[in-house]
Chain A
Amino acid sequence: MIHDATNNMSWTKKHLLDIESLTAEEILTVLDTARGFKAVGERAIKKVPALRGKTVVNLFVEPSTRTRTSFELAATRLSADVINFTTEASSLKKGETLKDTARNLEALNAELIIIRHSASGAPHFLSRVLDAHVINAGDGAHEHPTQAFLDTFTIREKKGRIAGLNVTILGDILYSRVARSDIWALTKLGANVTLCGPATLVPKTFEQMGCRVTHDVAEAIRDADVINLLRIQHERQRKTMFPSIGEYTQQFGLTKARLAKTKPDAIIMHPGPINRGVEIDSEIADSSRSVILEQVTNGLAVRMAVLYLVNGGKSVANPAN
């Protein structure tokens, strides 16, 4: 029988560009779908034919290993063909514009384009000039939507819910697209979000996004159910925003002494790559409180879910997208 499954599905978007424009229901659809895909990864045969015959392009204009690998494996497990396109080996180096590069990829009949770019809004731009589905794999300091999905998926799996939880994001918020996407997703799903870090990296303006901003780390993590640490993004800082790495660790690093004063069941998250001994104590990163490697596993599941859902999305159903 052909089940009419559309009544409990709420994904009609052709692209995944950001979390900001999604509803709580759409976010939950991705998380629910990812649950099914996570189970696929635990089987002997880890491949399903959902995207058989489709071509997926990894257009990574900004270097990335883990996100690209994760997307590549996700697409491969859905039986799609994958082309990896990186800056080092591309015509962008020869002066070709992003639009022309993408149009060339589309001329090869690529149906899904996953883009990572150092400029905010690059995926939105591509979605306007291409017929292919566009998935944002991180654009500048703007958003990194699949990271928000894997973080909320991990929290939901560990804590059984998201609404009402206290989630503290600690570190470089200003330059972090992960923080922005996480804040959107968590607040839409009803979590209480606290941001903490040096005043230069965690400006009060973030309160407009519906979260609390504090510069007192002890207070920020005391009642947290989830502590999400962010890496200091040296590459995105125009000038030094804090005196030294040592001082950052002393002031804001998650040390054993600080961890002792948190809820015993608070989980520690980090989008990676971690700087051991800087934002997180090395032993804490390997402890049972840390879910960092589970985040990586879940990243694969949510990316499979995103590719699967976006492939079924039609622009007609959602003209705004």
Chain B
Amino acid sequence: MPEPTVILDSLAIQRALTRIAHEIAERNEASADVALVGIPVGGDQLAARLAKILAVIWNHPVPVGILDVTMHRDDLDQRVAPTVHPTDIPFDVNGKTIVLVDDVLFSGRTTRAAMDALNDFGRPKKIQLAVLVDRGHRDLPIKADFIGKNAPTALDEKISLLLTEAGAARDEVILKKK
């Protein structure tokens, strides 16, 4: 078993999130219309962190939601049923600019499912996508608006995000062979 490589350490994650927050602020002048929606597992916690940074930049609280996309996946009959996480969107998405937050952008299928799932809650004015790591290998025509780090990977590699909120000893993004 080859040793996992750390591609982002705790400080790098913090810096990446700060930069993404500033890019979101720069792109969206109407700050009151912006809400963050994180995709579990990982994206929900990143969304909460981004919201904290944005609240300081904008000087007002930023709504955060959690969106489980499991039931909108396109591979449900090809695998063991994946874990369903709670969805919690405590605001009206109609007319909002929703920034979807995910940990890793890979095939793009999760993002597609997320856009579908979001439709069940209303019609956002815009949907933007923020990811901590873009590892390439897209199956669908999807690209992120805000990227923490571009990490070229091989298909047999796996990227994992470890966060202290989820019980990890420290924040880390690691890459390892499957």
Q: Does A164 contact B (CB under 8 A)?
A: no
Q: Are B83 and A5 in contact (CB under 8 A)?
A: yes
Q: Are B107 and A317 in contact (CB under 8 A)?
A: no
User: B76: which of A3, A6, A35, A50 is its contact (CB, 8 Å)?
Assistant: A50
Q: Are A2 and B80 in contact (CB under 8 A)?
A: no
- Give the segment of A37-45, A86-94, A197-205, A209-217 that binds chain B: A37-45
Q: Are A1 and B82 in contact (CB under 8 A)?
A: no
Q: Are B109 and A2 in contact (CB under 8 A)?
A: yes
A64–B79 CA distance with the chains assembled, in angstroms: 33
Encode contact with B along A24-54: 1 for CB under 8 Å, 0 otherwise: 0000000011011101100111011111001
Query: What 10 A-B pairs come out closest when comparing CB atoms?
Result: A312-B81, A36-B84, A1-B104, A48-B71, A5-B82, A50-B71, A1-B106, A45-B120, A5-B83, A309-B81
New A-B contacts (20) at CB < 8 Å, excluding given A36-B68, A313-B80 = A1-B103, A1-B159, A5-B82, A5-B83, A6-B80, A8-B83, A9-B80, A9-B82, A9-B83, A32-B83, A36-B70, A36-B84, A36-B86, A36-B87, A39-B87, A49-B71, A49-B72, A50-B71, A50-B72, A312-B79
User: Which A residue sits closest to B135, measured CB to CB?
Assistant: A1
Q: Are A3 and B121 in contact (CB under 8 A)?
A: no
A317–B68 CA distance with the chains assembled, in angstroms: 26
Q: A43-B121, A308-B71 are in contact. Are A36 and B41 (CB under 8 A)?
A: no
Q: Are A48 and B83 in contact (CB under 8 A)?
A: no
User: A1: which of B72, B86, B102 is its contact (CB, 8 Å)?
Assistant: B102
Q: Does A149 contact B (CB under 8 A)?
A: no
Q: Does B105 contact A (CB under 8 A)?
A: yes
| Residues from 63 to 85 in B contacting A, C-beta threshold 8 Å | 68, 70-72, 76-77, 79-85
Across-interface contacts of B15 in A (CB, < 8 A): none
Q: Does B158 contact A (CB under 8 A)?
A: yes
| Residues from 116 to 143 in B contacting A, C-beta threshold 8 Å | 116-117, 120-121, 135
Across-interface contacts of A4 in B (CB, < 8 A): 158
CB distance from A198 to the nearest CB of B (A): 42
Q: Does A222 contact B (CB under 8 A)?
A: no
A54–B77 CA distance with the chains assembled, in angstroms: 10
Q: Are B41 and A312 in contact (CB under 8 A)?
A: no
A12–B82 CA distance with the chains assembled, in angstroms: 11
Q: Does A11 contact B (CB under 8 A)?
A: yes
Q: Are A11 and B81 in contact (CB under 8 A)?
A: yes
Q: Does A188 contact B (CB under 8 A)?
A: no
Across-interface contacts of B45 in A (CB, < 8 A): none
Q: Are B84 and A308 in contact (CB under 8 A)?
A: yes
Q: Does A311 contact B (CB under 8 A)?
A: yes
Q: Are B71 and A33 in contact (CB under 8 A)?
A: no
User: B84: which of A33, A54, A314 is its contact (CB, 8 Å)?
Assistant: A33
Q: Are A2 and B76 in contact (CB under 8 A)?
A: no
Q: Does B31 contact A (CB under 8 A)?
A: no
Across-interface contacts of A9 in B (CB, < 8 A): 80-83
CB distance from A252 to the nearest CB of B (A): 40
Across-interface contacts of B41 in A (CB, < 8 A): 3, 5
User: Which A residue sits closest to B131, measured CB to CB?
Assistant: A1
User: B80: which of A36, A40, A54, A314 is its contact (CB, 8 Å)?
Assistant: A314
A32–B71 CA distance with the chains assembled, in angstroms: 15
Across-interface contacts of A3 in B (CB, < 8 A): 41, 82, 110
A49–B72 CA distance with the chains assembled, in angstroms: 6
Q: Are B77 and A12 in contact (CB under 8 A)?
A: no
User: Which B residue sits closest to A49, measured CB to CB?
Assistant: B72
A36–B68 CA distance with the chains assembled, in angstroms: 9
Q: Are B105 and A43 in contact (CB under 8 A)?
A: no
Encode contact with B along A96-109: 1 for CB under 8 Å, 0 otherwise: 00000000000000
Q: A36-B86, A48-B120 are in contact. Are A2 and B107 (CB under 8 A)?
A: yes
Q: Are B86 and A2 in contact (CB under 8 A)?
A: no
CB distance from B130 to the nearest CB of A (A): 14
A312–B77 CA distance with the chains assembled, in angstroms: 6
